[in-house]
A and B are shown apart, each in its own frame.
Chain A
Amino acid sequence: MTYQPMTAKEVTKKIFNKEPLFILDVRNTSDFEDWKVEGANFTHLNIPYFDLLDGVEEVLPKLPTDQDILVVCAKEGSSVMVADMLSEAERDVSYLQGGMKAWSEHLEPVRVGDLKDGGEIYQFVRIGKGCLSYMVISDGEAAVIDATRMTDVFLHFAKEKQATIKHVFDTHLHADHISGGRIIAKETGASYWLPPKDAAEVTFDYNKLEGGREVMIGSTAISIEALYSPGHTIGSTSFVVDNTYLLSGDILFIDSIGRPDLAGLADDWVGDLRETLYKRYRALSDELLVLPAHFMTVSELNEDGTVSEKLGKLFAENHGLNIKDEAVFRSVVSENLPPQPNAYQQIREVNMGKIIPDEEEQREMEIGPNRCAVR
């Protein structure tokens, strides 16, 4: 038997198509429990590679014979070793090319829909980490929102679509991932926008993203309205694109809401978060399609791989939008919070321009899920 690589893109397709896959994760147990490759019909077995150095006999009976088997580790090396041992034992297996490192960095562009005057909006699904970025394209121009540090993907995509990136936005100062916004702006000559209230300590020049502004993309009448909506961070801003799409940043997700504690001031910002979700968002049309900056589990993915839902449906079904009592709301979003994202303080400093780590250090900081939400 032989073993072969399976790319992050191929695994992503299996997630979108809800295909079965058996994952033998050979990382140490704490890393596995912290973060893993998940799909609706994926099953997992975790046996650290260092417990398999003397042979894989004990694993063989635990491996299914009727579905694909993928061996996963941190950076590929150990999964290749284990895949090789399994193939020697006459089993047909694949290993995840580039390991969890590549998994964390894979972006899958998915088309969300049309704009009224012929443009399109795309969602870039960072499937391994649950981050969502956007590109609005109209008449040869493009805007990028909440870009990740894998900037080449955005640059190539715009080129393929023959669009020039004119504007780059971050809805807020991110704490879970390193923004690629400034680099994309620099490479393309686009304007970089950041809410000034989140930018008090930044070391670079930027355009002030403030409530009530409109920015044109293309010559057609496509506007991005910035809707000031503090809560996750004091400067958090949402966008309404083309009167159809609500880019809600880290304020509102499909099955959860933004946690207010990552910039250190949970208590102060709980009131803002409630005001945004229960008053400002209420004033918007139920027909808006909510496009958040994160998803938490693959169950939030639609059939086509997008993460989106009508605002009206979220008001009916999202638990975080249906807590009548303000004191209860306060306790839900400020007590018993999930663990904070890996290295979130350092990530904030990178996004402020205060520290400039090399690529390997940036990867290390971003290990793990995003953890920006509370349910």
Chain B
Amino acid sequence: MAIQTNVTLDAIGLACPMPIVKTKKAMNAMEPGQVLEVLATDKGSKADLQAWAASSGHQYIGIIEEGSVLKHYLRKSNGEEETEKKHPYVISNEELVEKLQDSSVIIVDVREAAEYAFTHIPGAVSIPIGDLEKEASSLNKEAEIYVVCRTGNRSDLAAQQLAKQGFQHVINVVPGMSQWTGATESL
């Protein structure tokens, strides 16, 4: 699968601790919410990058192994866990699973394309929040639209934005993919 990223870091051939030293430096130079691809050959980077991301608050999206090259994907923290949700219409993960029995549900996944690539709800449409304004026109303004992200915050902003653009029935899925136990698929 092709993964869209903002920055790629080449740490091929570097031994521990350099892959993480360089990752930290690269992250510092990035904007919150952006996605970093780290190419590494040090097998220790598998466990260490995940543990480092957890301790530093960044999101470890996933890994693809291509021969001896490990391709890690991380998303820079944007402090989204702290923001307050404002969109009035919400649905829980469990309620959405029930709704999915009914095939006509429209789900818009507003996470970054790299996050969507690793795992998403079957049938969900990928529109990263940064592209929402220009791509919203492809959606039906009268339809019920469920907006999902990782923790319910980006989807909250997205739902407010869609409502402002005149969408009638926009519902935020809370908390979203971080706790999702229903069916998933990947690219």
Contact = CB atoms under 8 A, between A and B. Distances in A.
Interface of A: 28-31, 48-51, 53, 73-75, 77-78, 81, 364
A50 B24 contact: yes
B47 interface: yes
B48 to A, nearest CB: 5
A346 B48 CA distance: 24
Contacts of B182: none
Contacts of B44: 74-75
Interface of B: 15-18, 20-21, 24, 43-44, 47-48, 51-52, 55-56
A53 B24 contact: yes
A324 B47 CA distance: 44
B17 A28 contact: no
- Among A50, A75, A81, the one with the most B-chain Cβ atoms within 10 Å of its Cβ is A50
B121 to A, nearest CB: 30
B51 A49 contact: no
A48 B48 contact: yes
By secondary structure, the B interface counts as helix
Contacts of B47: 28, 30-31
A49 B55 contact: no
Contact of A77 (B16, B24, B43, B52): B16
B16 A28 contact: no
The 6 closest A-B pairs by CB, nearest first: A28-B51, A50-B52, A78-B17, A50-B20, A77-B16, A77-B15
Contacts of A73: 16
B17 A50 contact: yes
A50 B55 contact: yes
- Among A51, A74, A75, A364, the one with the most B-chain Cβ atoms within 10 Å of its Cβ is A74
By secondary structure, the A interface counts as helix
Given A48-B48, A53-B17, 4 more contacts: A28-B52, A48-B52, A51-B52, A73-B16
Contacts of B56: 50
Contacts of B43: 364
Contact of B17 (A30, A31, A49, A364): A49
B150 to A, nearest CB: 23
B48 A50 contact: yes
23 contacts: A28-B47, A28-B51, A28-B52, A30-B47, A30-B51, A31-B47, A48-B51, A48-B52, A49-B17, A50-B17, A50-B20, A50-B24, A50-B48, A50-B51, A50-B55, A50-B56, A51-B52, A53-B21, A74-B44, A75-B15, A77-B15, A77-B16, A77-B18
B107 to A, nearest CB: 34
Contacts of B48: 28, 48, 50
Given A50-B24, A53-B24, A364-B43, A77 B17 contact: yes
Contacts of B55: 48, 50-51
Contacts of A30: 47, 51
A75 B51 contact: no
B58 to A, nearest CB: 11
B51 A78 contact: no
A217 to B, nearest CB: 41
Contacts of B20: 49-50, 53
A94 B122 CA distance: 53
A367 to B, nearest CB: 10
A179 B17 CA distance: 31
